[in-house]
Amino acid sequence: MAFPTKSPYVIIGAGIHGLSTAYHLAVELKARGKGSGEDIIVLDKSGIGAGASGIACGVVRNNYFQPAMRELMAHSVKVWESDAETYSYHPVGYMQISCESMHDDIRSIYEQQQVIGYPSTFVEGEKDCMNYMRRIFDDWRAQNITSVLHEKSGGYANNTKSMYGLAGKAEYEGVRIMTGVEVTDLAQDSQGAIKSVQTNKGSIDCDYVVVGAGPWIKQFWDMLDLPKTINIKDPANGGMITDVPMWVYWCLEEGTLGIDPETQKTNDGKVPPVIHVDTDAPLFSDEDGALITDEQWGIYYKPDTHFGGIQGGAAPYKVEKNPDEVAVDPYGPESPEFIVGPEFAHMWVSALSHCQKRFSGTLSKFKREPSGGIGAFTPDSFPVFDIFRQNCYVIADSNHGYKMLGVGKLVAEEICGDRSRLLEPHRFSRFEEGKLHPVSNSPFPWS
């Protein structure tokens, strides 16, 4: 088939955002009599789910201190639930298990979840939390826990299956997905709008472009001639914080403990919720008892047949490099952070053992394989969803991506003319206006 030279809509990225937008845009165009999926092309330099979407932990949760993120995630959970089989979605629930410094934040999340009708249970007090957890896992032993937020919705999805399921839905609507096509530039007309997408295979004239490139967002930000640094209004005093880098990079460390996923079952033999623990209890090595850290730490984990074991991760760390020096391909084999090192494995498995006795003595089972990766974060660590250059919709997820399946539906509706209330708090203008999202006490920048 000949390479196309024109398409009304070109979507860059065949990950969660690109494919979700393509599918929902095809549905919206058809329903409104404005076109069909045949008007849409998705481009990816590698393949479907070849980047962050194909290797992320796959957790789907609502647990956010920020009201705007919480509402957006409640919407996304409903989209996951709308076709759980195709999306390979497992609605097992999610648990945020926390120490006292996070107690008030977690209580606030629970209270606001009740307001929006998101089902959850909140347990307070060290004794009651321990009893609650031991009713689920009889070997539970995590220390310094004073609150448990148990979200009854949410869970996790299998990455590859969900991406190919989503791609199949888009292709059924007539969307053309082209892999092995790398975008090299976005050509603008005399008015500054995007007139064509330049690729290594040729040029595609277009009416509208959607960028859903995940951790590669900075490359497209530069193609759009958008600012490398920005000014942010300080909501506390009204002054301006100047020359703030638009993009910073964090290394996300995740991995898999290669033991039978069936090992992690509840007391009644069921698949458990996704577990997330943040505590200030000292963490000691499961190997020799040496102190690993006496500062607050956090991990998350779940049994997952897709990864072939117990899969999860820990709090990320900043990449101390100029953004221009970060690997061009943060999910490629040349990235030194692509395969996590022994320090992470030691910490994470010791943390698993801190939480549940069944994981003690399992460090040798840690699988050395590609996982985690580098994420591109905005100045406040939350997404930007906005239109630039008149006809280019940028989905800059700030590494909240995979769980946010519903964003593509909202973006598609906006492209068709409906302004989204849920996306409004995530406009680029919030930085200069000082409309920043509130900051929690979590060690994770995306909570």
Find the range with the poorest average confidence among 89-93, 150-154, 291-295, 440-444.
440-444
Report residue 336 as tokens.
């030194």
Q: How many alpha carbons lie under 13 Å from residue 442 in its C-beta half-sphere?
A: 26
Query: Which residue, 137, 128, 129, 121, is CA-closest to 268?
Result: 137
Instruction: Answer yes or no: is pLDDT of 330 > 50.
Output: yes
Paired residues of 277 in beta bridges: 97, 299
CA 323 to chain centre: 20
Q: What span, in angstroms and rounded, lies between the C-alpha atoms of 366 and 340?
A: 11
Average pLDDT of the residues of the chain: 92
* Residues 350-387: tens digit of each pLDDT: 999 999 999 999 999 998 766 667 788 999 999 999 99
Q: What span, in angstroms and rounded, lies between the C-alpha atoms of 384 and 406?
A: 15
pLDDT > 70: what percent of the chain? 93
Mean pLDDT value across residues 62-75: 91
Instruction: Answer yes or no: is pLDDT of 206 > 80.
Output: yes
Mean pLDDT value across residues 178-184: 97
Mean pLDDT value across residues 285-309: 93
* Residues 412-445: tens digit of each pLDDT: 999 999 999 999 999 999 999 999 987 777 766 6
- Tell me the pLDDT band of 98, cut-offs 50, 70 and 90: very high
Mean pLDDT value across residues 319-346: 63
pTM confidence score: 0.93
Residue that has been written with the tokens 């193609």 in this structure: 223
**322 CB burial (10 A radius; 0-12, 13-18, 19+):** exposed
Which H helix or E strand runs over 163? helix 159-172
Q: What span, in angstroms and rounded, lies between the C-alpha atoms of 150 and 94?
A: 6
Find the range with the poorest average confidence among 108-122, 186-200, 228-242.
228-242
pLDDT of residue 427: 98
Find the range with the poorest average confidence among 80-84, 225-229, 334-338, 374-378.
334-338
Q: How many CB atoms lie within 10 A of CB 276?
A: 24
pLDDT > 90: what percent of the chain? 78
pLDDT of residue 171: 98
Mean pLDDT value across residues 15-28: 98
Instruction: Answer yes or no: is pLDDT of 66 > 50.
Output: yes
- Tell me the pLDDT band of 315, cut-offs 50, 70 and 90: confident
Query: Which residue, 96, 35, 154, 161, is CA-closest to 406?
Result: 154
Mean pLDDT value across residues 335-349: 75
Report residue 406 as tokens.
């519903």
Residue that has been written with the tokens 């393509």 in this structure: 22
Instruction: Answer yes or no: is pLDDT of 120 > 80.
Output: yes
Reading phi first (left if > 0) and then psi (alpha if -120 to 50, else beta), residue 417 is in: left
Report residue 168 as tokens.
């199949």
Q: What span, in angstroms and rounded, lies between the C-alpha atoms of 407 and 68?
A: 13
pLDDT of residue 322: 64
pLDDT of residue 334: 43
pLDDT of residue 144: 98
Q: What span, in angstroms and rounded, lies between the C-alpha atoms of 433 and 446?
A: 21
The architecture that CATH gives domain 1-58+158-239+382-447 is: 3-Layer(bba) Sandwich (3.50)
Instruction: Answer yes or no: is pLDDT of 107 > 70.
Output: yes
Instruction: Answer yes or no: is pLDDT of 231 > 90.
Output: yes
Where along the chain do its domains lie? 1-58+158-239+382-447
